[in-house]
Structure 1
Amino acid sequence: MSFPARVRPPIGLILILGSMAALPAVTTDLYLPSMPEVVRELETTETLVHATITGVLIGGAIGQLITGPISDRYGRRRPVMVGVAIHCVASLLCVFAPEIFSLLALRVIQGIGNATATVTAMAVIRDRYTGAGASVLMSRLMLVIGVAPLLAPTAGGLIADIWHWRATFVALAIMGVLLMVFIFFGLRESLPPERRQPGGLRPALGGYKRLVTDGRFMALAVMPGLGMAVIIAYVAASPFVMQQDFGLSETQFALAFAANGAGLIIASQLNASLANRVSPLAIIRVTAPLTVALGIWLLIAAGAEAPGEFDLGAMLTLMVPLFLMLSSASMLMPNTVALALSRYGERAGSAASVVGSLQAGLAGGIALLVGAVGGGHAGAADMAVVMLGSSVVALVILAIATPAYRRRRV
């Protein structure tokens, strides 16, 4: 595969696709500062509140598998409009959830709805770009997605302080409506009728069979999920680790979360710059083992006893390796996604749905381990164990199931 010397996707396309791809992240992050309050008000456990994060991801995995073949058959615009509308309705119903299990069910439905935005964003990229072009655009999307950790927890905390934690779901519904307006007026159809796949269950299942029996594709498709698992393990545990174990206030937590979000932005832009010079595979060969090394450093730092109150030195000891590991892990995702999708341009929607569902499903399932490892309360060491384990598995898959470290690479 050849890689163009310079790729500059249109700014408008980046903003629209980035907003679509960021919808699940915003759905997760806006709610984060409220999680300890949800535990108290709904009289439930930390594990079940963690599950409301996982529910969005599991719903996303289901929704993406449904959306992929539909978007290959009917185009990109109509499925995403329906899916975001489902997200809006589910968000409004969350406002009235009387207990944790109904909230959990509605969060799954939210995930199913906003999954269409993620699949469509990836499929549009593959419709228009391949190779380094796709990697550059996905890295630029990370710039937009990275704004969610910078702004969403702060905005969510302010909304909860002024009104109530349930008001964050009203905000999510409003965001969904605005996104539908942007898509309707700003995103043209990227899959013309002559390139669409025939309809019906049999062709859809046949397309999935072809994808899941391609070992190289599946290896590349699993790796974004493991990279996302590193990030989601941090997201799920951070409100409890930072606010309860390290004594951060809601404002301090939002600032710490924003700092790590800035790391994702910096890493994504570094990746976009590198993708114009070297192949995505070359970037992965370096970042995968680097993430493991940083995970070991994080685990050592997390092994120290939590102070239980704010201590700047203790916080920085944890934050530095955490910042670096999250930044490194974030560079795995755009490159592995670009390589996976480059193999199936004619089924970009289905391929994107497999990649996306694995990403959401693996991240959601692994995030549940954070609470399980900690016996109900996720501490810094529990978080670090799950993050390191995910990065080690990613490196093993890269080494065994892809040609990344072989002398002859294809």
Structure 2
Amino acid sequence: MQRLPWFIFASMSVSVISDSQGGLGSSPVALDFGSDVSTESWPEEDMLAKLSKGLVAAVYCGFIAVSLRLVLVGLPKRMPRHPSVEEDGCPQSWVVFMGVVYAFIYFTTDQYVPSLPQMEADLLGSESIMSGTVQMNLCVKAIFGMATAGLSDRIGRKPVLLVCLTLLSVASFCCGCAQRIEWFIASRLLQGMGESLEPVIFAMARDFFAKPSERFVVVAALQMMAFVGIALAPLVGGLGAHYLSWRAPFFGLALIWGLLASYAGFAMVECCPDGESQSYLSDLKRILDPHLLCLLLTESCVMGAYFTFNANSSYLAEVTFGESVISSSEIMLVFGALCGVGAFLIERLRLGSVLQDARLAMSLLGAAGAISLLLGVFFSSSFLWGYLAGSFLQAGVLMMALVSANVLFFEPLEDCAGMAASCEIVAQSVIPCALSAFATQLMIYDGPAGLICCQAAACVAAAAVFWLGYGISPPAWTRRAPSRKDFDQVLRRMSTSGDLLLQIEAEEGLHQRLLSREARSQGLMADPALKCRVGNLADGTSSKALRDHMCQAGKITGFECLSGNGTGSVSFSTVEEAANAITMLNGSVLNGQAIMVDPWGKSQG
């Protein structure tokens, strides 16, 4: 069996080892940026090649200049959050926009994979280098995402998104114009930098959708869009290369990214939460909470199973079992479709909380992995259906597990959602790529059984990590929402506190609401039913620390910490969230001291 490319980074050094057309060879390929030799002839190649080189050089120079300015001068001031984010929420058109951007990020990553042999000849590259440009792109995206997403927390989402979209347009154009492998790699690096906007997309989802139930639906929709891009990318790229040229899809992507950048410039409003951002290290310390690390490792295992299938299934089907290219494409399409169906089903079969959904999804994923192991041991070495049956079982629950873990991960990280999203992208990229490469080597040396066992083991590991590190003993912010019984008890406590009058409005589709007769008579705007009194605060507790702690219960609309007397107040957007704060956070620990959370009326009694 021919040795498949290992997980490599394409290096733009003086020379590299090249593959011969028959396999691994040893003829050197000089990486000379001054040469324009190409075996392909196409219209106006000299003019476009010179233009693309100038653009690539200009972008790198601009990147260095901007980086130096940020280091020497500091970050620009962030624009305030647009009022429409709080008042109107996220427009449906913007949800569609985020889905389209997310889908085209993955489309851009590997749409040229079917054209790698022809590109190898045209760009004077090698099999290893051309394959390595795909993995290189994922790693560059993950690394730059750490800076890009954290930057969006500090200067705003809009400027970062616009810069990345513009960079993707320019880089895609330069990829299409490249005449040598060196300039293609340089352009692909820029594409990876532009694709680092992926965590910003998830940060915006966290900004617009504070409630986990709503965010669950949106994240599931985004993942479904991503799998559409993943499934269609090789097909569209292959058709474009067959009927036109492998360069045509790159030019098409340049146009699409340019249009998306133009739309974002006109339609986007700043959605990053107001308030002073903490340092990178402070945000990172919060993200490295043991419970959150378990969720990140869970996502790594889930994506490892997906990457293993995506990188190896075609070779296994075509070389080992003699299937056609069309059959291989159909297998990948079915796998992607089943992933989308799984995300759709978990949204429809809600069990009452995201934590319960996650427990169900992880249990099913572990069971699918165990079944796949059995199929791999007994059937995969002789029958392709043994591998496919196990893989399709995994596909049905992969996105269920990924979406639920994503929502749980972002729940306590509202004010550093960008940084959190970048860490998540690293977890979903670097470790899964390494696992996929390891699975490739197992397939080479142990055959199909080695591949399916590695892929199934990733699913079992995801379930085990989740249950051991999170599912059995979840943190406070993911405890169950209060039941109707709990909520009624809190309402009775509120109704007997002070002079509050409890009125229940039985309108279909509306929650119960508490109104204060005294507050109405005085013409006050604040509804005491939405407020909680917080007592026994430790000395030195800041208003921001109080807000960060209380936001576990719901969306906060106002907060205050009274220095000197150990008390504070917090207002929520709904009565349910205020009740949730009382049942969930009363007796919780803040700054080393157990706090008391009571209805606001109790402080007036």
TM-score in terms of structure 2 length: 0.58
Q: Structure 1 residues 288, 318: CA separation in 2 closer, same or farther (over 3 Å shift)?
A: closer
Q: Confirm or deny: 8 A CA contact 1:243 1:249 kept in the other structure.
A: yes
| Rg larger in structure | 2
Alignment of 1:94 with 2:175, yes or no, is yes
How far apart, in 1, do the equivalents of 2:377 and 2:117 lie?
Answer: 27
Alignment of 1:235 with 2:307, yes or no, is no
How far apart, in 2, do the equivalents of 1:174 and 1:250 lie?
Answer: 29
Question: Residue 191 of structure 1: CA displacement?
Answer: 1.6
> Who is 1:55 aligned against?
136
Q: Structure 1 residues 303, 154: CA separation in 2 closer, same or farther (over 3 Å shift)?
A: same
Q: Confirm or deny: 8 A CA contact 1:71 1:349 kept in the other structure.
A: yes
Question: Residue 269 of structure 1: CA displacement?
Answer: 0.5
Q: Confirm or deny: 8 A CA contact 2:387 2:452 kept in the other structure.
A: no
Alignment of 1:293 with 2:367, yes or no, is no
> Who is 2:280 aligned against?
204
1:243-301 per-residue CA deviation (whole Å, 9 max, x = no partner) reads 33344444433333222221111111112113474434333442331342243155347
Q: Which of 322, 327, 345 is the aligned partner of 1:252?
A: 327
Q: Which amino acid in structure 1 is aligned with residue 348 of structure 2?
A: S
Greater Cα offset, 318-327 or 96-105: 96-105
Q: Confirm or deny: 8 A CA contact 2:102 2:201 kept in the other structure.
A: yes
How far apart, in 2, do the equivalents of 1:115 and 1:370 lie?
Answer: 26
> Who is 1:126 aligned against?
206
Question: Residue 374 of structure 1: CA displacement?
Answer: 4.0
> Who is 2:452 aligned against?
384
Q: Structure 1 residues 73, 89: CA separation in 2 closer, same or farther (over 3 Å shift)?
A: same
Question: Residue 96 of structure 1: CA displacement?
Answer: 4.7
Question: Residue 204 of structure 1: CA displacement?
Answer: 1.7
Question: Residue 56 of structure 1: CA displacement?
Answer: 2.0
1:140-171 per-residue CA deviation (whole Å, 9 max, x = no partner) reads 11222222244222211101111233433333
Task: Describe the SS at the equivalent of 1:348.
Answer: helix
| Residue correspondence of structure 1 range 53-202 to structure 2 within 5 A | 53-97=134-178, 103-104=184-185, 106-116=187-197, 118-129=198-209, 130-192=211-273, 194-195=274-275, 197=277
Q: Confirm or deny: 8 A CA contact 1:291 1:329 kept in the other structure.
A: no
Q: Which of 32, 40, 44 is the aligned partner of 2:126?
A: 44
| Residue correspondence of structure 1 range 10-21 to structure 2 within 5 A | 11-21=92-102
How far apart, in 2, do the equivalents of 1:76 and 1:296 lie?
Answer: 44
Q: Confirm or deny: 8 A CA contact 1:89 1:173 kept in the other structure.
A: yes
1:346-381 per-residue CA deviation (whole Å, 9 max, x = no partner) reads 111111111122112222222222333345x99644
Q: Structure 1 residues 31, 301: CA separation in 2 closer, same or farther (over 3 Å shift)?
A: farther
Percent identity of paired positions between Structure 1 and Structure 2: 23
Q: Structure 1 residues 110, 302: CA separation in 2 closer, same or farther (over 3 Å shift)?
A: farther
How far apart, in 1, do the equivalents of 2:319 and 2:441 lie?
Answer: 18
How far apart, in 1, do the equivalents of 2:454 and 2:413 lie?
Answer: 32
Task: Describe the SS at the equivalent of 1:195.
Answer: coil
How far apart, in 2, do the equivalents of 1:166 and 1:276 lie?
Answer: 48
Q: Confirm or deny: 8 A CA contact 2:314 2:329 kept in the other structure.
A: no
Q: Confirm or deny: 8 A CA contact 2:178 2:184 kept in the other structure.
A: yes
Q: Structure 1 residues 105, 368: CA separation in 2 closer, same or farther (over 3 Å shift)?
A: farther
How far apart, in 1, do the equivalents of 2:419 and 2:256 lie?
Answer: 26
> Who is 2:295 aligned against?
220
Q: Which amino acid in structure 2 is aligned with residue 44 of structure 1?
A: S
1:200-240 per-residue CA deviation (whole Å, 9 max, x = no partner) reads xxx1222113322x111111122222211211222222332
> Who is 2:337 aligned against?
262
Comparing both structures, which one devotes a greater share of its residues to helix? 1
Q: Structure 1 residues 302, 56: CA separation in 2 closer, same or farther (over 3 Å shift)?
A: farther
Q: Which amino acid in structure 1 is aligned with residue 364 of structure 2?
A: T
Greater Cα offset, 75-84 or 237-246: 237-246
Q: Which amino acid in structure 2 is aligned with residue 204 of structure 1?
A: Y
Q: Structure 1 residues 196, 255: CA separation in 2 closer, same or farther (over 3 Å shift)?
A: farther
Greater Cα offset, 27-36 or 154-163: 27-36
Q: Confirm or deny: 8 A CA contact 1:229 1:366 kept in the other structure.
A: yes
Q: Confirm or deny: 8 A CA contact 1:67 1:79 kept in the other structure.
A: yes
> Who is 1:370 aligned against?
439
Q: Confirm or deny: 8 A CA contact 1:220 1:340 kept in the other structure.
A: yes
How far apart, in 2, do the equivalents of 1:172 and 1:301 lie?
Answer: 45
> Who is 1:396 aligned against?
464
Q: Confirm or deny: 8 A CA contact 1:74 1:196 kept in the other structure.
A: no
Q: Which amino acid in structure 2 is aligned with residue 241 of structure 1?
A: L
Greater Cα offset, 102-111 or 177-186: 102-111
Greater Cα offset, 334-343 or 36-45: 36-45
Question: Residue 196 of structure 1: CA displacement?
Answer: 5.4
Q: Confirm or deny: 8 A CA contact 1:94 1:106 kept in the other structure.
A: yes
Q: Structure 1 residues 179, 245: CA separation in 2 closer, same or farther (over 3 Å shift)?
A: farther
Greater Cα offset, 379-388 or 122-131: 379-388
Task: Describe the SS at the equivalent of 2:409.
Answer: helix
Q: Structure 1 residues 20, 43: CA separation in 2 closer, same or farther (over 3 Å shift)?
A: closer
Q: Confirm or deny: 8 A CA contact 1:72 1:348 kept in the other structure.
A: yes
Q: Structure 1 residues 364, 196: CA separation in 2 closer, same or farther (over 3 Å shift)?
A: farther
How far apart, in 2, do the equivalents of 1:166 and 1:244 lie?
Answer: 28
How far apart, in 1, do the equivalents of 2:189 and 2:178 lie?
Answer: 13
Question: Residue 103 of structure 1: CA displacement?
Answer: 4.5
Question: Residue 120 of structure 1: CA displacement?
Answer: 1.5
Task: Describe the SS at the equivalent of 2:381.
Answer: coil
Q: Confirm or deny: 8 A CA contact 1:229 1:362 kept in the other structure.
A: yes
Q: Which amino acid in structure 1 is aligned with residue 359 of structure 2?
A: A
How far apart, in 1, do the equivalents of 2:461 and 2:181 lie?
Answer: 33
Q: Aligned-residue CA RMSD in angstroms?
A: 3.1
The structure showing larger relative contact order (alpha-carbon pairs under 8 Å, at least 6 residues apart) is 1
How far apart, in 1, do the equivalents of 2:446 and 2:347 lie?
Answer: 34
Q: Confirm or deny: 8 A CA contact 1:75 1:196 kept in the other structure.
A: no
Question: Residue 66 of structure 1: CA displacement?
Answer: 0.8
Greater Cα offset, 364-373 or 134-143: 364-373
Alignment of 1:350 with 2:432, yes or no, is no
How far apart, in 2, do the equivalents of 1:294 and 1:182 lie?
Answer: 47
Q: Confirm or deny: 8 A CA contact 2:361 2:397 kept in the other structure.
A: no
Question: Residue 70 of structure 1: CA displacement?
Answer: 0.6
How far apart, in 1, do the equivalents of 2:455 and 2:186 lie?
Answer: 26
Q: Which of 301, 326, 330 is the aligned partner of 2:395?
A: 326
How far apart, in 1, do the equivalents of 2:429 and 2:441 lie?
Answer: 19
Q: Structure 1 residues 326, 281: CA separation in 2 closer, same or farther (over 3 Å shift)?
A: closer
